[in-house]
Amino acid sequence: MAFKSLRAFIDKLEQAGELVRIKTFVDPVLEIAEITDRVSKTPDRNKALLFENTGTDFFLLINSMGSEKRMCIALGVDTLDDVAKDIEDLFKKISSPKNGLIEKLSMLPQLGKFASWMPKVVSGRGACQEVVMANPDITKLPILKCWPKDGGPFLTLPAIHTKDPNTGIRNIGMYRMQVFAPDMTALHWHKHKVSARHYNE
């Protein structure tokens, strides 16, 4: 990953002319989704949008990876083909036969690069835990209602963490979540998904 924080990524997008800050109040109910839909479908104006006045205490960043250029910025590459080439080259080097100890040792830098892509378990508390709600209330976030006939507001791309109670194996999946109350949501997952299996266990 090319950035240590979302704030650093936002700064880079702004420096690259790929971010528009919107200071005027825009309602998360229908309005933000409508504006984003129009902007993302207009090639000459397709930018990441940072809504700074959502009627909540939180900003909302949207469309941050809605173009190839912004994806490249996020990944720290010039073209998306660079990522595919790096992975292909690495696997070719790893899978080719090695004739001696020196050749095997020469693989260490490539293996280190590969290891850097893997998720890490870090002890302690992350920056996301600097503010802890004693009584969690998800409705304090600027959660979008995207379409007039939606049943309510939805978190559309959340990272849902589950753990199998028998094996301890973890999973992170992205499942649309409908917000019902400050402390209640529904998850939309298919029965063949790993998180659904964890839930059934």
Q: Where are the beta strands (DSSP E) in the chain?
A: 19-22, 48-51, 60-62, 154-155, 160-163, 170-173, 177-181, 184-187
C-beta of residue 20 within 8 angstroms of C-beta of residue 50? yes
Residue 90 binned pLDDT confidence (cut-offs 50, 70, 90):
confident
Q: pTM higher than 0.85 for the full model?
A: no
Written as six digits, the tokens of 190 are 């298919």
Residue 70 has pLDDT above 80, yes or no: yes
Per-residue pLDDT tens digits for 103-152: 777 777 777 776 776 667 777 877 778 888 889 899 999 999 999 999 99
181 forms bridges with which residues in the sheet?
Answer: 184
Which residues make Cβ contacts (< 8 Å) with residue 73, sequence separation at least 6? 2, 9, 12, 13, 16, 18
Residue at 10: amino acid letter = I
What pLDDT is attached to residue 50? Answer: 98
Residue 29 has pLDDT above 70, yes or no: yes
Burial 127-157 (b: 16+ CB within 10 A, else e): eeeeeeeeeeebeebbbbbbeeeeeebbbee
Average pLDDT, the chain: 88
C-beta of residue 138 within 8 angstroms of C-beta of residue 152? no
Residue 153 has pLDDT above 90, yes or no: yes
Coil, strand or helix: which one is 124?
A: coil
What pLDDT is attached to residue 117? Answer: 67
What pLDDT is attached to residue 55? Answer: 96
Coil, strand or helix: which one is 175?
A: coil
Neighbours of 198 (CB within 10 A): 20
What pLDDT is attached to residue 48? Answer: 98
φ and ψ at 43, to 5 degrees?
-50, -40
